[in-house]
Amino acid sequence: MSSVGTTYLQTAIKRLRYYKELGEKTFGQLSDSELHITPNAASNSIAVIVQHVSGNMLSRWTNFLTEDGEKPWRQRDEEFEVHNYSKQQILDLWEKGWACFLDSLTCLTENDLLKTIYIREEPLLVIDAINRQLAHYPYHVGQIIYIGKLIKDADWQSLSIEKGKSEAYNKSDGVKDPANK
């Protein structure tokens, strides 16, 4: 039987992979130019959100047990500038950030969860740092999905239970939580 710490790591990784997949299913519905649409002046495009998420992941999770999570090489403000990357470049950034993050998590043991790390010189337990990202990254994935819905409108292919289809979904056979498939 798994320990609580091991189970926590396994379930956190599973949930995070699910959110990564939701982002990727959104990217699959959008063209290069659609990734750069900014809904309004106060918002970011999907491309800019990906730049930020990738930059955050690389900074936070590179050598995270031994170095502060806010790396001197990170240029956070630049993450929010328009770079006009191609769709492939955006997908590469996305993958690079997620690979760094998930690889770091999969290398952890339950004994690592109570170690202290630092982000901007603030001490955090590793488990708290993971919890921070369990809130932060899905928050941005939600933004990506919402912008994708705005762009695609009636052509949007739902990533969850469609409006008016809950009863049929609940009566259907099989696993109900997509992250458990």
Whether residue 34 is contained in a domain is answered as yes
Whether residue 55 is contained in a domain is answered as yes
Whether residue 144 is contained in a domain is answered as yes
What pLDDT, in 10s, does the model give residues 135-160? 999 999 999 999 999 999 999 999 98
**Based on the structure, what is the number of domains in the chain?**
1
Whether residue 166 is contained in a domain is answered as no
Average pLDDT of the residues of the chain:
94
Whether residue 84 is contained in a domain is answered as yes
Q: Residue 12's domain spans which residues?
A: 4-153
Quick one: which of 8, 38, 67, 17 has its CA closest to 181?
Answer: 17
The pLDDT of 27-55, averaged and rounded, is 97
> Worst-scoring range by mean pLDDT, 5-9, 152-156, 174-178?
174-178
For residue 178, what pLDDT band results from cuts at 50, 70 and 90? low
Whether residue 50 is contained in a domain is answered as yes
Q: What DSSP string runs through 82-108?
A: -----HHHHHHHHHHHHHHHHHHHHT-
Question: Within 13 Å, how many C-alpha atoms sit on residue 30's CB side?
Answer: 29
Which uninterrupted H or E stretch holds 56?
helix 46-61
The region that residue 162 occupies, defined by phi over 0 for left and psi between -120 and 50 for alpha, beta otherwise, is beta
Beta-ladder partners of 125: 116
* Single pTM value for the model: 0.92
Beta-ladder partners of 122: 119
Residue with tokens 């982000």: 119
Q: What is the pLDDT of residue 77?
A: 96
Q: What is the pLDDT of residue 168?
A: 82
Q: What is the pLDDT of residue 176?
A: 58
The CATH number assigned to the domain holding 109 equals 1.20.120.450
Whether residue 162 is contained in a domain is answered as no
Quick one: which of 102, 92, 15 has its CA closest to 50?
Answer: 92
Whether residue 146 is contained in a domain is answered as yes
Q: Contact, 53 vs 137, CB < 8 A? A: yes
